[in-house]
Amino acid sequence: FVEGVRVDIFLVLEEVGIHTYTTHHEAAAGQHEINFHYADAITTADRVISLKYVTKVIATKHELHASFMPKPLYGVAGSGMHTHHSLFTKKGENAFYDPDDKNQLSSVAHFFIAGLLKYVKEISAILTPTVNSYKRLVPGYEAPTYISWANRNRSALIRIPSKRGKGTRCELRNPDLSGNPYLQFAVMLAAGLEGIKEKLEPPAPVEKNIYSLSEQEREKHDIKHLPESLGHALSFMEESTLLRETLGEHIFNNFLHVKHEEWEDYRKQVTKWEIDHYL
């Protein structure tokens, strides 16, 4: 039954010009993944909006409810928006590819990755913009919680897929679909491009499972923690010159205002968990 729903979503997406190359069931019950072909940032943001709309409409026609909530269920994997980045030259060549590098990654790729790593705390409130977002970013559910990169390590924040040549790219794994993709892609690009501007070098990649490392081992590798709540992320955003310049004063200030209200409202709530444990 669900396979048929996915096929219907796939067919409608094709009709509206969104070419998907794989759809499959994911780790959690009722969880599905759809991957579509790459494009420039604005086109990709348009496709994210269209994909969410099409998915919800088709699900409703099948008397189902489609949700892109980051963590709808306790104790199972949440849903993210893993975002793959690459830059191309005016000649159409992938600027991240260098066949002479030991990992076949160019200096531009290293600078871009380093920019994402340096500024990810500042942009987290845009990438993971809801209270619920941070309940996905916990150890044990294939979601990143630490700031690191790797070639073959799904516990890392940034992963380098094995494809090279025109397919050379980096994958940022903390964003989710509760945000505005236009703002999300804008701040991701701003962070990466700032890394190129500053010619930042990333630390050595960490290929070990980060969740299994001791605190001392993480300190040795200078692995920092991602923001652990919306309030924590907002505190980094408030101090960010990069975000203020990227978003402009109007969006920057209004986003902070709305999200501070959301966070303060949440902090006043008394949950069932608290009642069960403390009453």
Q: Are strands 149-150 and 158-159 parallel, antiparallel or unpaired?
A: parallel
Q: Are strands 83-85 and 158-159 parallel, antiparallel or unpaired?
A: unpaired
In this prediction, residues 26-42 reach a mean pLDDT of 88
Least confident of 93-97, 140-144, 254-258, 261-265: 140-144
In this prediction, residues 81-90 reach a mean pLDDT of 96
Strand ranges for the chain from DSSP E: 20-25, 32-36, 83-85, 146-147, 149-150, 158-159, 170-172, 224-225
Alpha carbons 216 and 214: distance in angstroms, whole number? 5
The per-residue pLDDT for 30 is 83
In this prediction, residues 1-5 reach a mean pLDDT of 79
Taking the C-alpha atoms of 241, 247, 252 and 254 in order, what is their torsion angle to the nearest 10 degrees?
170
pLDDT level of residue 61 (50, 70, 90 thresholds): very high
For residue 67, is pLDDT > 90?
yes
Nearest to 171 by CA among 188, 159, 189, 184: 159
For residue 2, is pLDDT > 80?
no
For residue 54, is pLDDT > 90?
yes
Higher model confidence: residue 57 or residue 153? 57
The per-residue pLDDT for 222 is 87
For residue 208, is pLDDT > 90?
no
In this prediction, residues 223-245 reach a mean pLDDT of 97
